[in-house]
Amino acid sequence: MRMAELSARSGVSIATIKYYLREGLLPPGELTSPNQARYDEAHVRRLKLVRALLEIGGMSLADVRDVLDAVDHQTSTHQILGVAQHGLPTPKMPLDDEDRAWALAKLEPIAEAHGWHLRPGDPLVESLLGTVAAFEHLGRTELLDTLPDYAELAERMGELDVGVVAELPSTESIVEGAVVGTVLGDALFAALRRIAQRKASEGRFTP
């Protein structure tokens, strides 16, 4: 297919496709003349993945290159998803040594029960520790009594998320689905949670 058809099939403008080509995010097509190239389904899949990583995932170009490099070098799907996950923006909370020790004491029994690894320096772990410490700073530690229940829900959601993308036909589509599912899934669950809170509040506090 020509670039115009590639643009129509992928939903990416020709100008953006040319930019991705210059940045090395999209492999060049097969030259049919000095100024013409032919593209195929692999280019369509790659464009959809790049678009998901940049536009939905909010990743930097460097992070996108890391994900594409993992895909192209046949790293395991688990490792590729890890690279993609770490490229997604993660909230950061202030965290000193005392906060870290206190939060770890809260989280380690739960992590051990679920077989989770709280690796030092992992952005997700650091975000989790900072969030737990923030509850303590705000004097709302009673909310942390529900941590085991939240962990059970998270375990179930993780299984659901991975189960859905595992059925997709290619590594690119799995990574794209995981990124879109994580970013939009967070927004989806937040909205569902607040609707459920509204119902629970009505049941408890409305005469």
Query: Residue-wise pLDDT tens for the chain (207 aa)?
Result: 999 999 999 999 999 999 999 999 999 999 888 778 999 999 999 999 999 999 999 999 999 999 999 998 877 999 999 999 889 988 888 889 999 999 999 999 999 999 999 998 899 999 999 999 999 999 998 989 999 999 999 999 999 999 999 999 988 999 999 999 999 999 999 999 999 999 999 999 988
CA gap 86, 116 in Å, rounded: 16
Whole-prediction pTM: 0.81
User: Which tokens belong to 174?
Assistant: 């799995």
Give me the residues paired with residue 31 across strands: 37
What pLDDT was estimated at residue 35? 79
- Nearest residue to 69 (alpha-carbon basis) of 83, 53, 55, 82: 83
What pLDDT was estimated at residue 198? 96
Cβ atoms within 10 Å of 162's Cβ, excluding its own: 15
Q: Is-contact 92 126, C-beta < 8 A?
A: yes
CA torsion, ordered 116, 121, 127, 129, to nearest 10 deg: 70
What pLDDT was estimated at residue 120? 86
CA gap 136, 200 in Å, rounded: 25
Q: Is-contact 94 126, C-beta < 8 A?
A: no
CA gap 7, 12 in Å, rounded: 5
What pLDDT was estimated at residue 34? 78
Q: What angle do CA 40, 44, 45 make, to 5 degrees?
A: 115
SS3 90: coil
Cβ atoms within 10 Å of 134's Cβ, excluding its own: 15
- Return the DSSP state at 46: H
Rounded to the nearest angstrom, the gap between the alpha carbon of residue 35 and the centroid of all alpha carbons in its chain is 38
